Amino acid sequence: MANYRGGRINEEIKKEISNIIMNKMWDPRLKDVMISVTAVEVTKDLKYAKVFVSIFGSEEKTIEALKVIKKSAGFIRKEVSSAVKLRNTPELIFELDNSINRALHIDSLLSKIKEKENHE
């Protein structure tokens, strides 16, 4: 039962953070990249939430966008607290999720191998 509640909280916080980043953050360094919140993992005591974000753009702009998001963690937490009714809003810890980029890289490598095999 507690696992189900944790899953609901994770999804609700994920939805709210996505909405906040898309609609309430006006930093120009976020305009040249596409940001997606891929997962949220809240600790059992609800004190911390690890937020995984995937950022599409050049490597330089990705790093800059992640810095902006990390520096805005307090603002994002405040916005989450007004949208998600919890006794304590977890402290947000943002991490870069490279799984999508790795999957795209592997897919391109597989495509190159397949193309090379077709030419032989």
For residues 93 and 74, is the Cβ–Cβ distance under 8 A? no
* Size (the chain), residues: 120
Mean pLDDT of the chain, nearest integer: 88
Domain 2-119 maps to which CATH number in 3.30.1950.10, 1.10.3720.10, 3.20.20.10, 3.30.300.20? Answer: 3.30.300.20
pLDDT band at residue 105 using 50, 70 and 90 as cut-offs: confident
Distance CA 105, CA 51 (A): 23
pLDDT value of residue 1: 35
Q: Give the model confidence (pLDDT) of 47-86 as tens digits.
A: 999 999 999 888 899 999 999 999 999 999 999 999 888 8
Q: Write out the two tokens for 118.
A: 């077709």
pLDDT value of residue 71: 96
Distance CA 108, CA 104 (A): 6
pTM of structure: 0.78
pLDDT band at residue 110 using 50, 70 and 90 as cut-offs: confident
Q: Give the model confidence (pLDDT) of 14-28 as tens digits.
A: 999 999 999 999 999
For residues 92 and 74, is the Cβ–Cβ distance under 8 A? no
